[in-house]
């Protein structure tokens, strides 16, 4: 009988080993992407001299990796092991890796990440981020409306000259609660279009051309084509081609400037809506384009028709308000609704922009009879002319943050620092 008892013991041992191997196999299947893959790159993020909170970061990927975002996984190295981190690859002019430095990161703190090869896509858009129709692209932030880019010429009110129609502008621009913060075709300035850009007094070859004041019929800005759209876990973006046209009497308009406008909305951030507005210009004529010094021109925001000194307060990075910020330089300009439960907007200029900090063109509290008079223009040519030469690219970058409630000066400065001086990311290979 002893041999029979030994067989039972051996059988139990085999069953026990099979059970343990089964558990190990299940564990491997669940975590195989980490256990089986080796890191192909190491990333270190340095917060620098500022505390960070849910900050966008990016790094250019080494050409040696030759990667596709369909097979990459990003992990943060933490005390509890490797933490999967949502990310997005942007492969346009260069291959860039984008993600959010989530939570609070103390100044001088270093955070470490690894890139792995994965078997399944790990950067897929969780839901629809664009709704395109016959006239516009609607950007969504997790099913909520964020902004609309209009590529079709806007219809003008009855009795208004069709010359006042334009395309290639943003309206509506929304707060996270769904409030519309922009205004188009106001009766006082029918050529105002929410969030847009145009130059005013310019010299094109032998002619003076105004691209801003459409009623002058000297120049205009038109949408021409969509170059590309991108979507993912971190952002959705659209790049469009605009022509800055010189209006001729024979209707054969000359093109003075080619502009690529890139709108990038960061849907990974939901408590506030963050959008980058980047214009890159190059001249068509070998004679270039000369922008004369003038009080307004460039990137501009026309605020809601309900906004006036009784309903909102303005503040700039230099501590000025609506009564004294016109013609003053600023890195950012903030508008808060006064009432509880309101919304607001923060407009920021990048330090690489021409003539930064840029002079502002704003309206004083009594302008426009004290009604619907929130007008904010970062005008780099306000106190300086600018010669754009043939064969060179000129880029202006702005970031827009819309929010619910009120934003303080300290928070506005934090957002500008994240935009102007983001954390430094270093990549190394094994």
The more confident residue out of 139 and 25 is: 139
Residue 142's CB is within 10 A of a number of other CB atoms, namely 12
Average pLDDT over residues 239-262: 92
Alpha-carbon distance values, 265 to 99, 163, 230 (Å): 13, 31, 10
Class for the domain spanning 39-122: mainly beta
Residue 120: predicted pLDDT: 53
Residue 168: predicted pLDDT: 98
- Copy the structure tokens of residue 360: 């502002």
Q: Which of 55, 93, 91 is nearest to 70 (CA)?
A: 91
Q: Which of 422, 317, 349, 412 is nearest to 52 (CA)?
A: 422
CA atoms within 13 A on the CB side of 380: 23
Q: What is the dihedral of CA 336, 338, 339, 345, to 10 degrees?
A: -10
Q: Is pLDDT of 39 > 70? A: yes
The more confident residue out of 127 and 212 is: 212
Question: In sequence order, which ranges of 149-281 are alpha helices (DSSP H)?
Answer: none
Residue 8: predicted pLDDT: 42
* Buried b or exposed e, range 61-92, using 16+ CB within 10 angstroms: beeeeebebeebbbbbbeeeebeebbbbbbee
Average pLDDT, the chain: 90
Give the contacts of 340 (CB within 8 A, at least 6 positions apart). Answer: none
- Strands 386-388 and 312-316: what pairing? unpaired
Residue 14: predicted pLDDT: 41
Question: pLDDT tens digits, residue range 381-400?
Answer: 999 999 999 999 999 999 99
Residue 214: predicted pLDDT: 98
Quote the CA–CA distance of 269 and 101 in Å, as a whole number.
11
Average pLDDT over residues 159-188: 98
Residue 317: predicted pLDDT: 98
Q: Which of 417, 383, 361 is nearest to 197 (CA)?
A: 361
Radius of gyration for the alpha carbons in the chain, expressed in angstroms and rounded: 27
Q: Is pLDDT of 7 > 80? A: no
Residue 122: predicted pLDDT: 47
- Strands 95-105 and 87-91: what pairing? antiparallel
Q: Which of 9-23, 83-97, 223-237, 305-319 has the lowest mean pLDDT?
A: 9-23
Quote the CA–CA distance of 144 and 40 in Å, as a whole number.
37
Q: Is pLDDT of 16 > 80? A: no
Quote the CA–CA distance of 318 and 331 in Å, as a whole number.
8
Question: Domain locations in the chain?
Answer: 39-122, 130-420
Residue 24's CB is within 10 A of a number of other CB atoms, namely 10
Residue 272: predicted pLDDT: 97
Residue 71: predicted pLDDT: 78
Fold (topology level) of 130-420:
Beta-galactosidase; Chain A, domain 5 (2.70.98)
Considering the chain, what percentage of its residues have pLDDT values greater than 90? 82
- Cα angle for residues 216, 239, 88 (degrees, 5° grid): 155
Residue 250: predicted pLDDT: 73
Quote the CA–CA distance of 83 and 237 in Å, as a whole number.
27
Question: pLDDT tens digits, residue range 82-100?
Answer: 999 999 999 877 889 999 9
Give the contacts of 15 (CB within 8 A, at least 6 positions apart). Answer: none
The Cα diameter of the chain in Å comes to: 113
Residue 70: predicted pLDDT: 53
Quote the CA–CA distance of 350 and 187 in Å, as a whole number.
32
Q: Is pLDDT of 11 > 50? A: no
Residue 249: predicted pLDDT: 72
Give the contacts of 352 (CB within 8 A, at least 6 positions apart). Answer: 395, 397
Q: Which of 327, 323, 244 is nearest to 293 (CA)?
A: 327
Q: Which of 329, 404, 314 is nearest to 359 (CA)?
A: 329
Alpha-carbon distance values, 221 to 39, 196, 256, 288, 345 (Å): 48, 10, 10, 17, 25
For residue 92, the SS3 value is: coil
pLDDT band at 119 (very low <50, low <70, confident <90, very high): low
Residue 92: predicted pLDDT: 78
Q: Which H or E run contains 169?
A: strand 169-173
Alpha-carbon distance values, 208 to 102, 164, 292, 392 (Å): 50, 19, 10, 22
Q: Is pLDDT of 354 > 50? A: yes
Determine the distance from the C-alpha atom of residue 175 to the mean position of all C-alpha atoms in its chain, rounded to a whole number.
Answer: 15
390, 286 contact by CB (below 8 A): yes
Give the contacts of 205 (CB within 8 A, at least 6 positions apart). Answer: 285, 287
């Amino acid at each position: 009988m002893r041999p029979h008892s030994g067989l039972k013991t051996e059988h139990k041992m085999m069953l026990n080993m099979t059970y343990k191997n089964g558990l190990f196999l299940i564990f491997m299947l669940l975590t195989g992407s980490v256990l089986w893959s080796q890191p192909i790159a190491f990333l270190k993020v340095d917060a620098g001299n500022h505390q960070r909170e849910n900050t966008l970061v990016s790094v250019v990927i080494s050409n040696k990796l030759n990667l596709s975002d369909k097979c990459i996984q990003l992990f943060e190295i933490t005390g509890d092991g490797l933490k999967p981190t949502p990310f997005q690859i942007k492969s346009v002019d260069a291959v860039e890796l984008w993600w959010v430095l989530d939570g609070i990161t103390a100044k001088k703190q270093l955070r470490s990440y690894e890139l792995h090869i994965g078997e399944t896509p790990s950067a897929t858009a969780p839901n629809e981020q664009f709704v395109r129709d016959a006239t516009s692209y609607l950007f969504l932030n997790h099913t909520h409306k964020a902004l609309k880019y209009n590529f079709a010429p806007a219809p003008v009110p009855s009795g208004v000259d069709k010359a006042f129609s334009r395309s290639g502008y943003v309206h509506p621009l929304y707060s996270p609660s769904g409030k519309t913060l922009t205004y188009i075709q106001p009766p006082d300035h029918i050529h105002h279009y929410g969030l847009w850009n145009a130059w005013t007094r310019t010299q094109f070859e032998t002619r003076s051309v105004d691209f801003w004041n459409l009623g002058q019929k000297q120049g205009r800005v038109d949408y021409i084509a969509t170059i590309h759209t991108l979507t993912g876990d971190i952002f959705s973006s659209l790049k469009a081609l605009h022509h800055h046209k010189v209006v001729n009497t024979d209707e054969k308009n000359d093109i003075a400037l080619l502009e690529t406008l890139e709108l990038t909305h960061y849907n990974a951030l939901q408590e506030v809506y963050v959008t980058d507005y980047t214009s890159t210009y190059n001249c068509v004529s070998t004679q270039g384009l000369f922008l004369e010094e003038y009080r307004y021109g460039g990137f501009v925001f026309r605020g809601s028709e309900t906004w006036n000194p009784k309903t909102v307060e303005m503040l700039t990075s230099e501590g000025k308000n609506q009564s004294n910020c016109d013609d003053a330089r600023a890195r950012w300009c903030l508008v808060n609704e006064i009432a509880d439960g309101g919304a607001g907007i923060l407009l920021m200029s990048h330090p690489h922009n021409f003539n930064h900090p840029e002079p502002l063109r704003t309206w004083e509290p009594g302008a426009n009879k004290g009604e619907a008079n929130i007008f904010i223009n970062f005008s780099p040519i306000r106190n300086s002319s600018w010669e754009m030469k043939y064969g060179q690219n000129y880029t202006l970058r702005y970031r827009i943050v819309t929010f619910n409630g009120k934003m303080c000066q300290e928070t506005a400065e934090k957002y500008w620092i994240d935009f102007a001086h983001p954390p430094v990311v270093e990549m190394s290979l094994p």
